[in-house]
Amino acid sequence: GAYSNHVKKSNGSLKSLVTYKNGKRDGPSFEYYSNGQTYSHLFYKNGAVVGKRMYFNKMGELIEPEWYNKMKLSYKVLIMLE
Which of the four pLDDT bands, split at 50, 70 and 90, describes residue 3? low
Tell me the per-residue pLDDT of 13-61, one tens digit each, with 9 for 90 and over: 778 888 888 888 888 899 988 888 999 998 888 888 888 888 999 998 9
Q: For position 76, what pLDDT does the model report?
A: 42
pLDDT at residue 12, rounded to an integer: 73
- H/E run at residue 12: none
